[in-house]
Structure 1
Amino acid sequence: MQQERVALVTGATSGIGVEIARQLAERGFRVVVSGRSAERGREVEESLGERVRFVRAELTAEGAASRLVADAVAAFGRLDVLVNNAAIDHTGDLLEVGEDEIRSTFETNTFAAMNLLIAAARRMRDQGDGGAIINITSRLASIGVPTMGIYSASKGAMLAFTRAAAIDLAQYGIRVNAVAPGMTRTPLYQEWLDGLPDPEAEAERVAAAIPMGRIAEPADVAAVVSFLASPEAAYLTGTSIPVEGGYLAK
């Protein structure tokens, strides 16, 4: 009897991460969701049902990657898919950015994700039957946007790491790909919008800049992640799929 596949999704207590976990569970995965908030994590666990287990994790702590992988395996017995979704935002005048801001952005968005990829890949290698790793990057990994330089660089590093890791890990049957969302309707987006003088006008301006005329929904991003985690994507590795309504094609 074939074992059920197990996925680990980081940053999965809100927004895109919750929807990724939902779609993977609906596809038959057992899913470990992680995040920093135990309260939100338990809510996600309860709302998504018995196929989902929450594990609290502070990914920037020393040894966190190995502990989280071990916890995922302890929960469901194996690990087949990692979705590196956890990240923090950063905006600000580039000439006013301090060293601590750069360091904290890279510690979460880049270093923690790299460590987790390596820890998960070691487990997948030892299991001997391959796996899939999906790094959530950003359209900003490929373009320049004012005030977003540090965030863009942290995601650009993950895009480069995705391609390099795909080459290193192909010998073990481990596929490594990236999904690059554009502006997406998440709680963080709504919080940003609500803080503006004219949220409605800004929402219209953002949508008008996208060829498809709307921003992404979390389900749009999650659908691509679910595909990359599936056997249908068995011959895809080292690629990045933009989910941004045609913005980068302009």
Structure 2
Amino acid sequence: MTAFDGLVAVVTGGSSGIGAAIVRRLRAGGARVAVFDVDPDAADAELALPVDVTDAASVEAATATVGKELGRLDVLVNNAGIGAQGTVADNPDEEWLRVLDLNVVGIARTTRAALPLLRRSPAAAIVNTCSIAATAGLPQRALYSASKGAVLALTQAMAADHVREGIRVNAVNPGTVDTPWVGRLLARADDPAAERAALEARQPHGRLVSADEVAEAVAYLASPQAASTTGTTIAVDGGMHSLRVRPA
């Protein structure tokens, strides 16, 4: 639990859900953490900064603050993202651009701003929050799946670009995680209990993934103990990406 002693991390979207769990885990391991979030008030970290990852000036100013206040940057967790529902025909162009701007270009903006600090770290690591939607065809998730497929490809390209600089880049692919966002989706369903049961049954281990389980995978990928792990993903999905079990 001391793998991050002396290290500084930035977690985007770190005020709630998966992001908040990642912040807790990194701090438990000894890291000092800065949260970048549009609503940072609930964040529990050394720094909590109001940041919109769709705005380059916002990202650059916050990254400069991290360098000034915490003195370094070793770990960047690109976790900020939004969901989207519907088939390929159900969202207008404006929504496609909004989701891709936040989920994909937001990673590029934050990473671009962080690279000068990461290049000075002896233990530089980037972890992107991807999704099972990048590797499995899910109904009513066309736009979201497209954005996460781009995150997966971007992760591998970034890993190739920066491995010789000593910067490792990996991703986690969560299944359906028990987060406030999923809770809001369930609340809007005609039968929330039945919808939750369907989501649980879709994952072979028969339940939703916990945010803490995703955070453990992020902590491994971000840790100096994973110094030879780059350009890969860890699925945290109860086996959904590869197992084909009989219905219970």
- Contact 2:23 2:33 (8 Å CA) reproduced: yes
- Equivalent residue for 1:18? 20
* 1:112-151 to 2 correspondences below 5 Å: 112-125=106-119, 127=120, 129-151=122-144
- Comparing 188-197 with 232-241, greater Cα deviation is found at 188-197
What's the CA shift for 1:208?
1.5
- Equivalent residue for 1:48? none
2:159 aligned with 1:166, yes or no? yes
Q: Look up the SS of the partner of 2:89 in the other structure.
A: helix
- Equivalent residue for 1:42? 41
**Shift in alpha-carbon separation, 1:74–1:208, aligned structure 2, 3 A:** same
CA deviation profile, 1:79-106 (whole Å, cap 9, x unmatched): 0000000001111232132110110001
What's the CA shift for 1:192?
1.0
- Contact 2:123 2:224 (8 Å CA) reproduced: no
The one-letter code matched in structure 2 to 1:97 is N
- Comparing 200-209 with 167-176, greater Cα deviation is found at 200-209
What's the CA shift for 1:128?
5.1
User: How far apart, CA to CA, are the structure 2 residues paired with 1:184 and 1:128?
Assistant: 32
- Contact 2:52 2:59 (8 Å CA) reproduced: no
- Contact 1:25 1:52 (8 Å CA) reproduced: no
- Equivalent residue for 2:67? 73
Q: Look up the SS of the partner of 2:43 in the other structure.
A: helix
- Contact 1:130 1:172 (8 Å CA) reproduced: no
CA deviation profile, 1:153-195 (whole Å, cap 9, x unmatched): 1111111111111111111110000001110000011111122
User: How far apart, CA to CA, are the structure 2 residues paired with 1:218 and 1:143?
Assistant: 20
Q: Look up the SS of the partner of 1:249 in the other structure.
A: coil
- Name the % identity: 38
Q: Look up the SS of the partner of 1:78 in the other structure.
A: coil
Please point out which of 167, 173, 183 is paired with 1:180.
173
User: How far apart, CA to CA, are the structure 1 residues paired with 2:10 and 2:148?
Assistant: 20
* 1:89-104 to 2 correspondences below 5 Å: 89-104=83-98
The one-letter code matched in structure 1 to 2:88 is L
- Comparing 204-213 with 104-113, greater Cα deviation is found at 204-213
**Where in structure 2 are there 5+ consecutive unaligned residues?**
244-248
Q: Look up the SS of the partner of 1:241 in the other structure.
A: strand
- Contact 2:133 2:149 (8 Å CA) reproduced: yes
2:232 aligned with 1:233, yes or no? no
- Equivalent residue for 1:242? 235
| TM-score normalized by the length of structure 2 | 0.92
User: How far apart, CA to CA, are the structure 2 residues paired with 1:130 and 1:121?
Assistant: 13
User: How far apart, CA to CA, are the structure 1 residues paired with 2:187 and 2:41?
Assistant: 27
User: How far apart, CA to CA, are the structure 2 residues paired with 1:202 and 1:110?
Assistant: 28
| TM-score normalized by the length of structure 1 | 0.91
- Equivalent residue for 1:56? 50
What's the CA shift for 1:65?
2.9
- Contact 1:10 1:35 (8 Å CA) reproduced: yes
What's the CA shift for 1:42?
2.8
Q: Look up the SS of the partner of 1:21 in the other structure.
A: helix
* 1:150-229 to 2 correspondences below 5 Å: 150-229=143-222
- Contact 2:175 2:209 (8 Å CA) reproduced: yes
**Shift in alpha-carbon separation, 1:208–1:166, aligned structure 2, 3 A:** same
Q: What is the Cα-based RMSD across aligned positions, in Å?
A: 1.6
User: How far apart, CA to CA, are the structure 2 residues paired with 1:128 and 1:13?
Assistant: 25
- Comparing 3-12 with 131-140, greater Cα deviation is found at 3-12
Structure 1 stretches of 4+ with a deviation exceeding 6 A read none
